[in-house]
Amino acid sequence: MTTTQNPPAAVAGEAHTTTKPTAPEKSRVRSDRAEAWRRRAPLMPALIFLIIVTQVPFLLTIWYSLRSRNLLRPEGEQFVGLSNYGDIFLDSTFRQAALNSVLITFGCVIVAMLLGLGLALLLDRKFFGRGIVRTLLITPFLIMPVAGALLWSISMFNPTYGLVNWLIGLVGISPVDWTSEYPMFSVIVALVWQWTPFMMLLLLAGLQSQARDALEAASVDGASAWQTFRYITLPHLRFYLELSVLLGAIYVVNTFDHIYLMTAGGPGTASANLPFYIYQRAFLGFDIGQSAAMGVVTVIATIALALLALRLIFKSINAKEQS
């Protein structure tokens, strides 16, 4: 609603300044200010909305993390300083969840990136049915993640009627209870399946933005396919590789659906990652202070990753604006 109100207000401000021609200095300053506000006005609703919905809760999380508060123990909450932070670092489950987060994120992103690169290279040629192949390949990314997680944990990995055990049975391997015996592996497989198309799409866009004449010149000069790839394609792709890895990591580090539905963090806490463990402590353990502290630690750990990704995106935006 505020969007429709702001511009007229800004226009009125301008009219106000122009009615005072007697003090030109003042008027110029004011009209500068009015101009600045007129430019700012369309931005404000979005900015204010986002600050309220994201920053206020995060500040509250920091506040919670400094207090002891457990909904199961109503004897009251009090300021406890950094003791929640001390506690979570002594919590071996938290450390394991952090490690699992790292394993899942890097395992998924690296494998998906390599597969995505291979698929992008295969698709960057003209062949029969290329559009259909591309459409088939992006589908795993479009399936609702909840449906994808259930599909893998039940139809694919079920020990008795799952497709995977049937396939390995064909070559004589005895059935495996995938999600209990290899929970991390199962989760990573399902995530790789979902995220490979994402990597492929970004890398394919990168391949197709290559200057064709450079590739032709290379082949005229007698460069082998490998040399062309190594010395022309790969340097060009570097930006796209970095971008896809970092964006992929930012999305995958927040994985919750797959853990919740495929393994429930189990067996025990063997496959809990940070989002799942924090959820567990908050909504099943009602330990608000500690789960808030873990949330803050997760944010700090993600910032390094996020800053790298941001720097890269800004680089590309600036390069484009200057060109």
Decide if 164 contacts 183 (C-beta within 8 A): no
Is 54 a binder of other proteins (CB under 8 A)? yes
Given 212, 230, 309, 322, the residue binding other proteins (CB under 8 A): 309
Is 66 a binder of other proteins (CB under 8 A)? no
Given 23, 166, 181, 211, the residue binding other proteins (CB under 8 A): 166
Q: How far is the CB of 22 from other proteins (least distance, A)?
A: 27
- The rounded distance, in Å, linking the Cα atoms of 58 and 259 is 24
Q: Which residues pair with 68 in a beta bridge?
A: 78
Q: Which is nearer to other proteins, 122 or 184 (CB)?
A: 122
Is 60 a binder of other proteins (CB under 8 A)? yes
Is 279 a binder of other proteins (CB under 8 A)? yes
Q: Which segment (19-27, 177-185, 263-271, 305-313) binds other proteins by CB under 8 A?
A: 305-313
Q: Which segment (23-31, 79-87, 92-100, 284-292) binds other proteins by CB under 8 A?
A: 284-292
Query: Contacts by 137-143 with C-beta closer than 8 Å and gap 24+?
Result: 137/196, 137/197, 137/200, 138/197, 138/200, 138/201, 139/197, 140/193, 140/194, 140/196, 140/197, 141/194, 141/195, 141/197, 141/198, 141/201, 143/194
Cis preceding-peptide flag for 140 (omega within 30 of 0): no
Q: Which is nearer to other proteins, 79 or 161 (CB)?
A: 161
Is 226 a binder of other proteins (CB under 8 A)? no
Q: Which residues does 134 contact at the CB level (< 8 Å), separation at least 6?
A: 123, 204
Cα–Cα distances in Å, from 70 out to 60, 84, 288, 318?
15, 12, 6, 48
Q: Which residues does 88 contact at the CB level (< 8 Å), separation at least 6?
A: 94, 290, 293, 294, 297
Q: Which is nearer to other proteins, 23 or 58 (CB)?
A: 58
**Binders of other proteins among 28-47, rule CB under 8 A?**
36, 38-43, 45-47
Decide if 88 contacts 305 (C-beta within 8 A): no
Is 188 a binder of other proteins (CB under 8 A)? no
Q: Which segment (19-27, 102-110, 263-271, 282-290) binds other proteins by CB under 8 A?
A: 282-290
Q: Which is nearer to other proteins, 27 or 134 (CB)?
A: 134
Given 117, 201, 245, 252, the residue binding other proteins (CB under 8 A): 201
Q: Which is nearer to other proteins, 22 or 224 (CB)?
A: 224
Residue type, 315: K
**Binders of other proteins among 117-146, rule CB under 8 A?**
119, 122-123, 125, 127-129, 133-146
- SS3 labels along 186-235: HHHHHHHHHHHHHHHHHHHHHHHCCCHHHHHHHHHCCCCHHHHHHHHHHH
Is 18 a binder of other proteins (CB under 8 A)? no
Is 55 a binder of other proteins (CB under 8 A)? yes
| Burial class of 241 by CB neighbour count within 10 A (0 to 12, 13 to 18, 19+) | middle
**Binders of other proteins among 73-112, rule CB under 8 A?**
none
Q: Which is nearer to other proteins, 50 or 234 (CB)?
A: 50
Q: Which is nearer to other proteins, 23 or 95 (CB)?
A: 95
Q: Which segment (15-23, 73-81, 162-170, 263-271) binds other proteins by CB under 8 A?
A: 162-170
